[in-house]
Amino acid sequence: MTKLKFRPFWSYDVIKTQDWLDMQCEKGYHFVSFNPAFRTFNFNKADAINKKHVIIYDKSNDGCPAYVSKNNDYNEIYQTKNYCILEQTKEEPEYFSSYDQLLSRNQQIKFIVGIILLIQVILNILPLALVLVSATTGNMTVEYEPGGITAPTNIGELLEGIFVLMFMIIGIIVQLWLVYTYFKLRKSNKKLEKISVEDINLSFTIPTDTIISKEEMKQLKLDKKLVKKRKLGWFYSPDIHEEWLEEMELKGFNLIRMSKIGNSFYFVKGETRKMKYHVDYQLRKNPSYFKINEESGWKLYFTSLTRFFAISVWGQEYTEIKPEYYSDPESKVKHAKRFMLSYIVWFLPMSLMYFVMSGFSIYAYVTIDFFRDNFWLYLTPLMFIIAGIEFLYFSFRLIRYYNRVKENY
C-alpha cells in the first residue's frame, strides 16, 4: 500500500524534513520516492522501524556524490536531478554530507526575496509615511469623496469585480509567501550554519571578540589611548587603505575594531606591530571561508552583513616574511578584477541614470510653471548631478585600484 504526502515547503527546512521522514518511518511509512515539481512524497506501508534519512542537494554531480557508496555508511533511496535522499545505515558514519551547497542555495533565495521585500517597503511605506506626515502637519488635505460601494448592475461589472478581487487575493498570497519564505529561510539557514560548524561569532558585521565594553572604551578615551579614524567610501580603493592600516601599525597604532557599517577604524596606542591587512571581496561566503582563513592565521575585523558581494577585512601579524592572502599573481589580479567589476556594473548605469534624471528635471523647470514657482525644487537637479558625479568617482577609483594591482603583478 502506498501513501502520498504533500509538503509544499519541504526544502525551506531540510533538517526538519529529514526528521519528518524518520518519523514517518517510525509510523511504518517508508519513503520511496518524491516529486520535486509537485512537492509530494511517496511512502510504502511496512513495519515500523527506526531509520535515519539524509537529504543532499548537489547541483554539480549527476547522481549521488561519490563518497556515499564509500564505507557503506549510506544507502541510496531515491535521487532526482539535484536532490539525493539517502538512508544512513551506520550510527556514526565516517563522512557526512556537506550542507554548503544547500546553504548557499537557500542564502541566495533569501537574498533575492529580501531585496524584493526591501524595495516593496521603500515603494509602499515611504510615500504612505510622507502622506501621513503632511496630513498631520496640515500642509496637505486629503480629500475623500464618499461614493460608497454600489452593487454591480450587469454581468460585465460583476466579472470586473471578481477579477479585481482575485487579483487582490493573489497579491496578498504572494506577499505572505514572500514574507514566510524570508523568515523561514533565515531560521533554517542559521540551523544549517550551526551544523556546518561555522563557529564565527558575529555581532551584526563585526566579530564579537573585537568588541570592547563601553567602560573599557571610556577608560581608553580618558587615557587618550583610543584613536578613531573615519574613512568614507574607503573600500573603493582597498589597496591604499591596506597600506594605510599597515603604516598605522608600524607607528604603534594597533587596530582593535571597526564600526558596524565599516566606515570607522578604532586604534589603540601600543606596540609597533608588523601586520599584513587584506580587504577581501567574495561573490559568496561559504562556512568554509571563515574556517580556512582563521586556520591560516588571519584575524577577522569586519565582514559584510550579506553573504553575497561581501567585503571582509582580514589582518595577520608576522615577524619576517609578509603573509600573502593570495599567493599567486593570477588570483590576486582576478580578485581585483572581480572587486572592480561587481561594483562598476552598478555604479556606471546608476551614474548615467542620475545624469539623465537631472537633465529631465532641468527641462521640467524650464517648461513647467509649477516647478519654477517652488524655489526649493531647484535643488533636485543639483542633487541628481551630485549623485551622478559621486558614482562616477567611485567607479573611477575602483578602476584605478584594478590598474594598480595589474601593474604590480
Partner 1 sequence: MAKSIESLIPLSETAYYILLSLNEPRHGYGIIKYVEKLTDNRIKLGSGTVYTTLGKMSKAKVISIYQDKDRKTVYELTVEGNKLLELEINRMKIVYKDTLYQEGLFNDKT
Residue from 100, 210, 229, 306 touching partner 1 (CB under 8 A): that is 100
Interaction of residue 288 with partner 1, rule CB under 8 A: yes
Residue from 292, 352, 368, 389 touching partner 1 (CB under 8 A): that is 292
| Minimal distance, residue 332 CB to partner 1, in Å | 8
Give the integer Cα–Cα distance in Å for 104 and 284: 8
Q: Are 53 and 87 in contact (CB under 8 A)?
A: yes
Interaction of residue 215 with partner 1, rule CB under 8 A: no
**Span interacting with partner 1, options 106-114, 295-303, 347-355, 401-409, rule CB under 8 A:** 295-303
Residue 229 is placed in which grid cell? Answer: 579614524
Give the integer Cα–Cα distance in Å for 45 and 28: 6
Closest CB to partner 1 among residues 58, 249? 58
Residue 107 is placed in which grid cell? Answer: 542564502
| Minimal distance, residue 201 CB to partner 1, in Å | 17
Q: What is the DSSP letter of 322?
A: P
Give the integer Cα–Cα distance in Å for 104 and 286: 7
Distance of CA 89 to the CA centre of its chain: 36
Q: Where are the beta strands (DSSP E) in 287-391?
A: 299-303, 308-317
Interaction of residue 289 with partner 1, rule CB under 8 A: yes
The type of residue at 361 is S
Size of the site for partner 1 (CB under 8 A): 40
Residue 146 is placed in which grid cell? Answer: 464618499
Closest CB to partner 1 among residues 270, 329? 329
Interaction of residue 145 with partner 1, rule CB under 8 A: no
Interaction of residue 315 with partner 1, rule CB under 8 A: no
Give the integer Cα–Cα distance in Å for 242 and 315: 9
Interaction of residue 327 with partner 1, rule CB under 8 A: yes
Of 305, 311, 325, 315, the C-alpha closest to 283 is 311
Give the integer Cα–Cα distance in Å for 23 and 228: 56
Closest CB to partner 1 among residues 44, 288? 288
Q: What is the DSSP letter of 237?
A: S
Residue from 210, 323, 362, 387 touching partner 1 (CB under 8 A): that is 323
Of 397, 404, 387, 348, the C-alpha closest to 234 is 397
The interface with partner 1 within residues 220-239 (CB under 8 A) comprises none
Residue from 24, 79, 196, 254 touching partner 1 (CB under 8 A): that is 196
Interaction of residue 341 with partner 1, rule CB under 8 A: no
Give the integer Cα–Cα distance in Å for 8 and 345: 37
Site string for partner 1, 173-192 (x = CB under 8 A): --------------------
Interaction of residue 88 with partner 1, rule CB under 8 A: no
Give the integer Cα–Cα distance in Å for 27 and 225: 66
Interaction of residue 351 with partner 1, rule CB under 8 A: no
Residue from 101, 259, 264, 342 touching partner 1 (CB under 8 A): that is 101
| Minimal distance, residue 97 CB to partner 1, in Å | 6
Closest CB to partner 1 among residues 312, 361? 312
Provide the 10 A C-beta neighbour count for residue 364.
Answer: 15
Give the integer Cα–Cα distance in Å for 78 and 85: 5
Closest CB to partner 1 among residues 106, 395? 106
Q: Given the rule CB under 8 A, which residues bind partner 1?
A: 60-61, 65-67, 92, 94-98, 100-101, 195-197, 278, 280, 282, 284, 286-289, 291-293, 295-296, 298, 323-328, 330-331, 334-335
